[in-house]
Each structure stands twice: as structure tokens, then as C-alpha cells.
Structure 1
Amino acid sequence: MNTFALRSTARTASPTRSGRARTVGIWVVRIGLGAQFVMGGAAKLAGDAQMVAMFDDIGAGQWFRLLVGILEVAGGIGLLVPRRPRLTRLAAAGLVALMVGAAITNVGVLGTAPTLPLVFGALAGAVALVRR
């Protein structure tokens, strides 16, 4: 094999700077979102007074708070599992659906701005798309 073939193979085998930056960037988003969803879900599961009051205002019952808490914790953990793109994509897509529901509930039931669920949903959507 000639030296040109060795050099070109070595170049294509190593990750590029932009590839590494993309990988680091998506991990930063995954870790941030994962932590946020795990903490938010844990607050719902622990019966935080604000969460209990919010779900009372929603009127769906406290079972719904527990369901949302379980889904948030599971989705947050799913974002953090390395080398499982299908699981990450599924977790991110589930969190997008959850955040769409949260945004609709914020506007239609609670009368609050949907900014936070929309931002978290958009970030989760980006993770789902990148992990294809």
C-alpha cells in the first residue's frame, strides 16, 4: 500500500473538529435536559407542594401528576443512556409530546405562558433529530 492511501485512510478515520464540537454540543443539551426532566419529575413524584397545587389547578387528579413525573424521569434517564440512539430518540420524542401537552395546558387551563415547555420541547426535538 502506498503512503498516500495510508494518509487518506488515517484522515477519514479520525473525527473532525466540527464532528467533535457537534458531539460535545449534543451531549451538553442531553445532560442539561436529562437533569431538568429528572429533577422536575422527581419533584412531582415526591409531592412537592407547588406541583400538587398546580395539578389541582389542572383538575386531572393527582394520579396525573404521578404519571407525568414517571414519564419525565424515564425520559430524562433515556436522554442520558450512551450509545443507544434508538432509546435516546424515543425518549426525546416522548418528551416532545409531553412538552406539547404542557404548553397546551399552560395556555388553555392554567393561563400561563408556554415558553418553558416550548423551549424544552424544541431542544428535545433537536436531540431526536440528531440521534437519527
Structure 2
Amino acid sequence: MSTNSPLASGAPTGTVKIVSWGLRLLAAAAFLAAGGAKLAGVPMMIETFDHIGIGQWFRVVTGLVEIVGAIALLVPATAALGSLLLAVTMVFATLTHLFVIGGSPLPAIVLLLITATIVWLHRASVVAMLGR
């Protein structure tokens, strides 16, 4: 089965590279800010994770996942893996908003769409990594 993805052949077009970098920079900035707020113990984050009910250790782990994922987005060799990690994280964030803490899941959904798009742009890399 053939694919028409510019990245599937391993040679992305200039436009795809620009879109990928733009989305990766946007997502990295958002996740560095969100992860940093979690690790810094911003009162709103402490309250949110109290409401989740698992404990503050989960806030720290989530913050670390977001920071590691954001850094991975900025490194071309790890961008696909970082975006996959963050997309999965945003699936769970969306579900947590919908079924546990309430509030608007829109920011998590927007970040999910951005990171899922990055995964899609780099799907050949993701398939190659998962196939190893």
C-alpha cells in the first residue's frame, strides 16, 4: 500500500517542514508553560490536582511529562515521539476534564489537535520507531 505523505518517504517538502516547525514551536511553548506551572506549584494547579484526587505527586509527574515532551518536540530526531507522548497526555487531560474535574476541556482539545497533527506529519517516523 502506497502513501502520499510527504514525510512518509523521509523527504519532507519545504512547506511541511515549516508547518511542522510552527506547530512544534507553538506546542512546545504551551507545554513548557503548563508543565512549568505544575512543577512550580502554582496554586491553581495544586487546586486542580487536589480535585482530581490522586495526589500532588501526579501534578509533578504530569509537569515532568509535559516538559520532557516539549523538549522532545524541539529536537528533530525526537519530535515524533514527543508529539505522540503529548497527544496521549492530552487525551487523558480531556477525559479528566469531562468526567472528573469539570471545566472546559477546550484547551486540552486544542493541544490534542496540534500534537495529533504533528504525529500525523511525522507518522512515518512514528511507525518506524514503533516497529523497532
TM-score by length of 1: 0.80
Given the alignment of the two structures, is residue 50 of structure 1 paired with residue 41 of structure 2, yes or no? no
The 5-angstrom pairing of residues 10-89 of structure 1 reads: 19-82=13-76, 84=77, 87-89=78-80
Given the alignment of the two structures, is residue 125 of structure 1 paired with residue 116 of structure 2, yes or no? yes
Identify which of 90, 112, 124 aligns with 1:99: 90
Tell me which amino acid in the other structure corresponds to 1:46: A
Q: Which has the larger radius of gyration?
A: 1
Tell me which amino acid in the other structure corresponds to 2:70: G
Structure 1 segments unaligned to the other structure (5+ residues)? 1-17
Displacement of 1:90 after TM fit? 1.1
Tell me which amino acid in the other structure corresponds to 2:29: A
Q: What is the aligned residue count?
A: 112
Query: With CA pairs under 8 Å and 6+ residues apart, which has the higher RCO, 1 or 2?
Result: 2
Identity of aligned residues (%): 34
TM-score by length of 2: 0.80
Distance 1:125 1:106 in 2: 19
* Superposition RMSD in Å: 1.3
Distance 1:98 1:23 in 2: 24
